[in-house]
Amino acid sequence: MRFVAARPRITRPTVICNWQPKRYYKSDSIEPSFTLRNPVILEDNNKTVHLLGTAHISETSAREVRKLIKRVQPQQVVVELDADRAARLRNSPSEESNFDEFFKILMENKVPISARLFEMSIRATYSLLRKAGFVPGLEFLAAVDAAKEVQAQVVYGDRHFKETMKRVGKELEGKRFSFMKQLMNLDAPEIEHIFKDTSGFQSSIEKLLDRRNVKQLIAFMRRAAPPLAQVMLDERDLYLTRALKSQPGPQVVGVVGMAHLEGIERCWELDLKTIQNKIDDIENN
């Protein structure tokens, strides 16, 4: 099995894909659904992409990733990681989340204080999740392992995390931080039904595998912190779409967070040249 990184080009805002996507489903085997169990099927240039949305701390996600890869027997598996994050995840999956290196990265790159505050908030959240017994990134480990079993190429399709954090710093520099309180408010009316579940924390996490709930969560993020939504979701949707479209196939499996599904579907209507132009705009401004 070979590990490759999709072109790790980097940074700055753009007009992202902003129209309603066409959705492609194989009617003989997969029914349209808003849940993880039925992946979105995207067609492009004689290849089929099976795009699976996951919750990053869900055991269900990890199981479904394994099942899909074994069923499809793809030639390539694209995951929402960059090569460095993948290496850290493989080396110590139970001791550090994808976010454990944030502070070190920010200090080394002298990222503005706004990004440091954002990083610490996310890191604190993931620390609580680890203490609760969940391992962030479990589905990506499952994807890599399953790809190895079927001799598929693993492609790291995400923008490098250091570059994403630089973009966060640029977008948040000089802005007020009232949005941070809003962003961490899980009791907000539009999302409280997701996180207030009397049957337990795992049940709340599994709700993030329902696209309707994820759509509400994304809308909340866009309202509470538009710059973060642009950098963490919209821009990375372009990088992930480029990685998926660049694969020769004929069968490709994509493993991404549920929050990226809708954006990738929208961007799928663009050709690779247009996607690359948008990425160039981000990186050059």
Q: What are the tens digits of pLDDT across the range 68-78?
A: 999 999 999 99
CA gap 141, 233 in Å, rounded = 22
Nearest to 229 by CA among 252, 262, 265, 275: 262
Residues with Cβ within 8 Å of 27's Cβ and at least 6 positions away in sequence, in order, are none
pLDDT at 249 over 90: yes
pLDDT at 239 over 60: yes
pLDDT at 87 over 60: yes
Q: What are the tens digits of pLDDT across the range 191-225?
A: 555 556 545 555 555 666 677 777 777 787 787 77
Confidence tier at 232 by pLDDT (50, 70, 90): confident
**Is residue 262 a contact partner of residue 241, using CB atoms and an 8 Å limit?**
no
Per DSSP, what are the bridge partners of residue 45?
A: none
The three-state secondary structure class of 113 is helix
pLDDT score recorded for residue 53: 86
Residue 230 per-residue DSSP state: I
Q: Checking DSSP bridges between strand 3-5 and strand 76-79, what pairing results, if any?
A: unpaired
Confidence tier at 168 by pLDDT (50, 70, 90): confident
CA gap 215, 261 in Å, rounded = 10
**Kind plus residue range of the DSSP H or E element containing 252:** strand 251-257
pLDDT score recorded for residue 154: 97
Residues with Cβ within 8 Å of 130's Cβ and at least 6 positions away in sequence, in order, are 97, 136
pLDDT at 158 over 80: yes
pLDDT score recorded for residue 57: 63
CA gap 133, 225 in Å, rounded = 29
**Is residue 243 a contact partner of residue 80, using CB atoms and an 8 Å limit?**
no
pLDDT at 12 over 90: no
Residues with Cβ within 8 Å of 237's Cβ and at least 6 positions away in sequence, in order, are 16, 17, 260, 263, 264, 266, 267
CA gap 168, 43 in Å, rounded = 32
- Residue spans of the domains in the chain: they are 3-284
End-to-end alpha-carbon separation of the chain, Å?
37
Q: pLDDT averaged over the chain?
A: 73
Confidence tier at 21 by pLDDT (50, 70, 90): very low
User: Which position has the higher pLDDT, 203 or 154?
Assistant: 154
**Is residue 268 a contact partner of residue 44, using CB atoms and an 8 Å limit?**
yes
Residue 153 per-residue DSSP state: E
pLDDT score recorded for residue 241: 98
Q: What are the tens digits of pLDDT across the range 32-62?
A: 333 445 689 999 988 999 999 887 666 777 8
The token pair that represents 131 in the structure block? 């203490």
**Percent of the chain scored above 70 by pLDDT?**
56
CA gap 140, 86 in Å, rounded = 8
**Is residue 82 a contact partner of residue 69, using CB atoms and an 8 Å limit?**
no
CA gap 205, 122 in Å, rounded = 16
pLDDT score recorded for residue 166: 81
**Is residue 125 a contact partner of residue 185, using CB atoms and an 8 Å limit?**
no
